[in-house]
A and B are shown apart, each in its own frame.
Chain A
Amino acid sequence: MSAADRRSVVGTPSAPSRRIFLRGAAGAGLALPLLTDLVPGRARAAGSAPFPKRLVILFSPNGTNQADFFGTGDAKTLTLGPILQPLASHKDDLIVVDGIDEPAAAASPGDPHGAGIGCLLTGKKLQRGSLFPSSSGGAGSGWADNISIDQLIAQSIPGTPLRSLELAGKRTASSLWSRMSYRGPADPVTPEDDPQRVWDRLFAPPRVAGHRKKILDNVRRELSALGAKLSGDDARKVQQHLEALTSLQARVGAGSPPAKAPPRPTVTQTSAVPVGASGQQEANAANDLDFPKVLKAHLDLVVGALTCDLTRVATVMMAPSASNLVPSWLTFNGAPITEGHADISHASASDSAALMKLTLINAWYAQQIADFIASLKAVPEGPGTLFDSTLIVWLNELGSGSAHSHTRLPVLLAGSAQGYWRTGRYINIPSGTYSMNDVLVSVANAMGVKPTATDDALRTYQNQFGDPQFCRGSLPSLSGG
């Protein structure tokens, strides 16, 4: 039984029921303005506010075949490499950034995957730790040590029922490899892996209830009073609780879901958790057969959430770092691929067939992104489409798949963020100059957010992110428009 179904069962007329909490609110929910339908840009419907900008960060794992990813071009032109060919029809909307390193990951504890994914959106070395099994990226590391850029941006642009949306294409254990977004140091966001639960969360929000407001206000007062008596980590923990409560309170009053919400997905997450918390993964094609459908359902839900302005920041871990999923729907030399992605990636240094398969896999991810872009372009918004206000970033935790390097990571931007930057070009970054942190600063700037970074001596750096020693600021060649 789905959560939504259960909700309708709870509160059936037997004796005391949860109607207790809804009394006083009876009808209030109906009286609130409904989101009439999938009218884009809810904020705009009220008046003259501009369409909101949206950010979608997509992740696929295990490095790429660099020779086939970057293609060529210059400040005015872009020639796509084989991996990006599926995006050919959107070429004028893309920026390929070549030459971005991830120095925070290179200097971090953890295995290359764990450091790569943990540092990717946080820009700082991982914490040290001893509880994570080496086989899930641990090896002396803990969680990431900073808020991730998506969460930072989401905090800066409140006003939607959900601050942000975090999705995962595969079911995962609680491991470094399978977390990308962080609310703060050692505070990973658990992504939602089941499309039906995502739908419930998006389109069946908490019911409005009069007494709930008073109860939540009391919780808020107690949390605030408690937080004032604590310090350090304890105070931070309570502060995060308070922020989560704030988001919830906003949603509790947000009224009914859109009348024309997209249909609830029929596909559910079927993949199994990898062996324990260790995350060690075997290639098991049967476990991955539904993956394309699940991922598509997730991406459709992102489109729905952005369309209805339920959130403006989404991250999608299409597959976890070090994923060994078997893309058996892809064929190589006329036969389905039977090896796992991580195994293929490892082998691709010396094995030319593996390298070609790596290209195929990454091109498949590119195809999913192309379809996603097409969906955004199909949603009219004002004179243009939803895509015009959306910035898409496709990242990877490694550069070369075979070397597991943190240099020359594949970076693709799609969308101009309402003309913030000019698309249809190729940017070549001289090696060792600008880093992933700088890309993140550029992305934040495009979203209208200026982050700050703090070093060990507590000096603050404006418009930098993560560890200042790995950050110079936004990419000048990018923001030049």
Chain B
Amino acid sequence: MRVVEACQRRGVTARERRFTSTAVAGLTYLLVAGLACEGRSLSGSAGAGGGGARAAGGANPGVSRGTGGSGDVGGAGWGGSGGSAGRSGSATATGGMAAGGAAVATGGAAGAGPAAGSGGARPVTATDVDSLARACVPGTISPGRSPLRRLTSYEYDSTVRDLIGLSMSPSTGAPFSMAFPPEVYAVFTNVADYQSVSERLVEAYLEAAEEIAVAALPQLGMLVPSCDPATMGAMTCATSFIGTFGKKAFRRPLTTDEIASYQDLFVDGSADGTFEAGIAEVIAAMLQSPHFVYRVELTQPAPGDRSVPVTPYEMATRLAYFLWSSMPDAALFAAADANQLATAAALEAQVQRMVGDARAHDMARRFHSEWLSLYNVVDASRDPGLFPSWNSQLSTDLLTESETFVDGVFWGDGGLATLLTAPYSYLNGNLIDHYGVSARGNPTTPTAFVRVGLDPAQRAGILTQGAFLVGQSFSTRTSASQLGTFLRERILCQVVPIEPPDIETSVPEPAPAGATTRQLLEMSTAASKCRSCHLLFDPLGFGLGNFDAIGRWRATENGSLIDASGEIVGALDPATNGPFNGPVELMKKLATSGDVRACVAVNWFRWSSGRVESLPDDACSLLAINKQFEAAKYDMRALLPAIVTTDAFRYRSPGGTP
């Protein structure tokens, strides 16, 4: 416990970094604290008196606390800056920990009665379901923040496809003039707080809108059915178009003022040209409208209220972008028209309908790819001397493997345990060769991806597949630190302490003959000041030591046997902690870990809401999601209806933060 805490205290004393001598003194302190317990006594001590409570806080560096201040995207709980403990907002639990006080939970539970003031209570964290239960006040409606969301590049492309009926990807440029600028994101591309608009994006919107408008013109018959401008009058048809197309583009009926302004644009466009030119001008303008590029929600609570249900059209839009990353379809529009999205049962029925659509499959693939940074594999380069077989086809195939696997698992039995432990994957001939999988009993085909049984002593689920492994390795080697840090942050939802300055980070040179990656790492982190923190993540990465930098199995490295044993420390769920040997045992531990289950749930919550959870505001929403996940025996599909029936999804809070 103290190991974790000790490393975190590095951050507490950020001020120390100003002067080297002080920083060194701080490190010495860590070193002593770190060695004192060797990280072996982390589990089960929560609540054992004041000291124990503090340690619990340290062990679970609360991933995300409330966002009181504007733009404060979920405070990290580990007390990186004691000085900021007083920051506005009710939900920051950092103060207690940073100060090293005993009652770490009080800050986090402010305003949530039940947990406040209980000295032994742990802070409210998304991966601590008990803490969520304490913080949730039944009978209140608490939607959390509802920031203005802009279409991501992917959502923009999907929306245009569904709106115009043409398959295009304007955001990537081709076949258009100008790609959208790279997105500003962290983990997920749909984090609303990071979705500002640059001049370059506005220009790309302009270029894309014009080109889409032109591409849409041949579709006009479909977009404005049964209207012939020659016989019915150009303005009549244009107005009909503005109303029907506009409602789809803005995802709600247009106001009379809006209809009038688009009529003006039609007149301008058609004045020296044709009907089509006028329509093109309308389309180009609508596609640049804030009501198209943002998911505008304007409903405000009644005076004195803290929340308001979203309107039927807003709900249709929320459902569509959550489950499809695209605009509502005709059925959702019809349901909104008839105000049939107001009950939990109606929402669940929509989820059941919508998951049958291919767009839901695309969405699930995308969620997993962003959550697990699988797209890294696409950009990965490998040293041709060490990995002569590496090429772009292989990287593409590895991504397809994991995407196909997600498809198969998520829409198969849906089990989180299957995702993390399945002894099979989906391979084509190229990958069967790459992995050196025996073709016996497995159909081999050069291109199609088929389910292939793998050695159950070697492979277990998506984190033992090439896309993930390559994405977290370097061009010449694997890195247990990188892999372990990723597991700690993205799979256990904990925050890893920063690397202290003034350290030698490179591996010893010349490398001793026959040394494995693990041995080199252990040599270079032998100093206690390194080790106290590396104990948090390296052992997790050691568990994946049997895979090389392109995801192939290896029993030896440089002639030495791989040691893939390790130990998980610092998880909240005591059952998660403890030793394991090899990737399969590691994955089995993770697959049944309470921390991992709650971490998956909160990642889905973040994906659905475009923001980091704010606690305790979102405690009831997260609690409900976790409970339904548990009731469904951790079938990940249960998260979808669970999320759409939360307060966070059905309500909005007063617009913006001041």
Contacts and interface: CB of A to CB of B under 8 A. Distances in A.
Contacts of B658: 231-232
A440 to B, nearest CB: 19
B528 interface: no
Interface string B207-230: 101110110011000000000000
B198 A244 contact: yes
B290 A134 contact: no
A200 to B, nearest CB: 9
Interface stretch (B106-114, B264-272, B625-633): B264-272
A187 B70 CA distance: 12
A101 B18 contact: yes
A284 B474 CA distance: 9
A45 to B, nearest CB: 25
B373 A237 contact: no
A106 B501 CA distance: 13
B305 interface: no
Contact of A106 (B14, B294, B486, B657): B14
Contact of A244 (B64, B183, B197, B474): B197
A240 B210 CA distance: 22
B496 to A, nearest CB: 4
Given A229-B298, A278-B486, A406 B193 contact: no
B652 to A, nearest CB: 11
Nearest to B18: A106
Contacts of A251: 203
Given A10-B211, A346-B504, A139 B186 contact: no
B505 A248 contact: no
Interface in A212-260: 212, 214-216, 218-219, 221-223, 226, 229-235, 237-238, 240-241, 244-245, 247-248, 251
B296 A130 contact: no
A411 B294 CA distance: 42
B199 A218 contact: no
Given A17-B214, A111-B499, A287-B381, A131 B281 contact: no
A296 interface: no
Given A23-B272, A109-B76, A276-B376, A145 B471 contact: no
B289 interface: yes
Interface string B179-216: 00111111110010111111111110011011101100
Contact of A185 (B70, B80, B485, B655): B70
A210 to B, nearest CB: 9
Contacts of B198: 183, 189-190, 244
Interface string B10-51: 010011011110010000000000000000000000000000
A237 B655 CA distance: 13
A103 interface: yes
B585 interface: no
Contacts of A287: 381, 475
B376 A131 contact: no
B143 to A, nearest CB: 15
A325 B648 CA distance: 44
Given A233-B656, A248-B202, A404-B17, A211 B75 contact: no
A276 to B, nearest CB: 4
B71 interface: yes
B81 A107 contact: yes
B200 to A, nearest CB: 7
A234 B200 contact: no
B15 A142 contact: no
B19 A405 contact: yes
A107 B87 CA distance: 14
Contacts of A245: 202
Given A133-B485, A174-B184, A231-B655, A219 B285 contact: yes
Contact of B202 (A7, A244, A282): A244
Interface residues of A, number: 106
Contact of A140 (B76, B150, B184, B655): B76
Contacts of B199: 162-163, 244, 247-248
B96 interface: no
A280 B210 contact: no
A129 B72 contact: yes
Contact of A282 (B84, B148, B184, B476): B476
Contact of B210 (A18, A103, A163, A403): A18
Q: Which of B176, B184, B612 has the most CB of A within 10 A?
A: B184
B475 A406 contact: no
Interface in A1-50: 3, 6-7, 10, 15-18, 20-21, 23-24
A267 interface: no
A211 B265 CA distance: 9
Contacts of B381: 272, 284, 286-287
B182 A350 contact: no
B273 interface: yes
A123 to B, nearest CB: 16
A231 B182 CA distance: 27
Nearest to A179: B184
Contact of A215 (B284, B294, B657): B284
Contacts of B309: none
Contact of A403 (B20, B197, B272): B20
Contact of A233 (B70, B181, B218): B70
B503 interface: yes
B197 A140 contact: no
B268 A127 contact: no
B277 interface: yes
B475 A282 contact: yes
A410 interface: no
B497 interface: yes
A298 interface: no
A141 interface: yes
B212 to A, nearest CB: 10
A378 interface: no
B186 A347 contact: no
Contact of B201 (A142, A244, A283): A244
Q: Which of B148, B176, B265, B296 has the most CB of A within 10 A?
A: B148
A138 B72 CA distance: 13
Given A229-B298, A277-B187, A405-B18, A130 B496 contact: no
Interface in A90-135: 101, 103, 106-112, 115, 125, 127-135
Interface string B624-647: 000000000000000000000000
Interface in B459-483: 471-477, 479, 482
Contacts of B296: 226
Contacts of B473: 275
B583 to A, nearest CB: 20
Q: Which of B64, B197, B296 has the most CB of A within 10 A?
A: B197
Q: Which of A128, A247, A273, A278 has the most CB of B within 10 A?
A: A128
A247 B262 CA distance: 24
Nearest to B505: A346
B495 A130 contact: yes
B261 interface: yes
B433 interface: no
Q: Which of A6, A174, A276, A287 has the most CB of B within 10 A?
A: A276
A108 B177 contact: no
10 contacts: A23-B277, A128-B72, A215-B281, A216-B288, A231-B656, A233-B71, A233-B656, A286-B383, A286-B475, A349-B502
Given A201-B200, A278-B485, 16 more contacts: A130-B75, A131-B74, A133-B489, A163-B199, A174-B182, A215-B206, A219-B288, A219-B290, A222-B290, A232-B656, A234-B147, A237-B150, A278-B486, A284-B474, A347-B504, A400-B20
A-B pairs with the 4 shortest C-beta distances? A232-B656, A404-B501, A140-B76, A109-B80
Interface of A: 3, 6-7, 10, 15-18, 20-21, 23-24, 101, 103, 106-112, 115, 125, 127-135, 138-143, 145, 162-163, 174, 183-190, 201, 206, 211-212, 214-216, 218-219, 221-223, 226, 229-235, 237-238, 240-241, 244-245, 247-248, 251, 272-273, 275-278, 280, 282-284, 286-287, 339, 342-343, 346-347, 349-351, 400, 402-407
